[in-house]
Amino acid sequence: MMLNNISIRTRFFLLLTFSVLFWLIAGFVALSLIDNLALLQQINREIGYLPQKILRLENSIHFFYKNDLPSESFQETGRSDGISRFNSSYLDTYTLLKELQTEPGFSRNYIIQQKVDKLLEYLNSSDGILETIVDKSRQRGWDHYGLNGILTDQMKNINMEGIPGIGQTGREFYSEAQFYLVSPESVRLNSLLNRIKPPG
């Protein structure tokens, strides 16, 4: 009955007002969904970079071990290109993981948080492993640095010809030990150990 008393102009105005409100609300909801979708796509891209970043981190450790460990500059300074690469990759990966931890969609998801925590633990253990390798390697030395340098110098001072009854086996052992000190590889170490094992 009351609707019959409302004029056509008022009805049209109310219809127009409700339509505008409806489309405004729908627009805000759509924009919010699009923003959330864009954010999720960005997060997805960042997660996609993680394996590449971790591989770069591992490669920097291998690079250090293969190229920097025997270098004179590393033995003198304790710094190297491999360590710089590692530090850069470490910081990059750590920053990304910390950002992912604070993402609203992730911070409420226990499983994702657990995975990110595990990756952070792996990152910290990698850092600790490299630090140990650096410390022990400089302590052990290479060529004429560290303990290796001391042993090499001492071996040069030994006159094998002056020791009576040293024989061929003693000379071979001495030669093998010198080779091992210059290039400490597992094959050489095994050969050295085999020479000092008692027969039988």
Statement to judge: residues 135 and 183 lie in one domain: no
The residue among 115, 141, 167 that closes a domain is 141
Statement to judge: residues 47 and 136 lie in one domain: yes
- DSSP letter at 160 equals G
pLDDT given at position 87: 93
pLDDT given at position 91: 92
Judge whether 123 lies within some domain: yes
Give, for all 200 residues of the chain, the pLDDT tens digit. 455 566 777 777 777 777 778 777 877 777 776 766 666 666 667 777 888 888 898 899 888 888 887 788 888 888 889 899 999 999 998 998 888 888 776 667 777 788 888 889 988 998 898 888 888 888 877 777 777 777 667 666 666 566 666 666 666 777 777 666 666 666 666 676 666 555 54
Statement to judge: residues 91 and 172 lie in one domain: no
Judge whether 56 lies within some domain: yes
Rounded CA-CA distance 84/174 in Å is: 38
Place of tokens 């003693």: 170
pLDDT given at position 1: 44
Judge whether 2 lies within some domain: no
Q: Which two tokens stand for residue 16?
A: 């127009």
Judge whether 174 lies within some domain: yes
Rounded CA-CA distance 3/15 in Å is: 13
Please count the structural domains in the chain: 2
pLDDT given at position 79: 87
| Amino acid making up residue 121 | E
Give 43's contacts (C-beta < 8 A, 6+ positions apart). 100, 103, 105, 106
Statement to judge: residues 180 and 133 lie in one domain: no
Statement to judge: residues 112 and 185 lie in one domain: no
Q: What angle do CA 41, 89, 117 make, to 5 degrees?
A: 65
Statement to judge: residues 133 and 61 lie in one domain: yes
Statement to judge: residues 169 and 87 lie in one domain: no
Q: Which domain holds residue 117?
A: 43-141
Statement to judge: residues 100 and 51 lie in one domain: yes
- DSSP assignment of 163-199: STT-HHHHHHHHHHHHHHHHS--HHHHHHHHHHHSPP
Judge whether 79 lies within some domain: yes
Judge whether 176 lies within some domain: yes
pLDDT given at position 197: 58
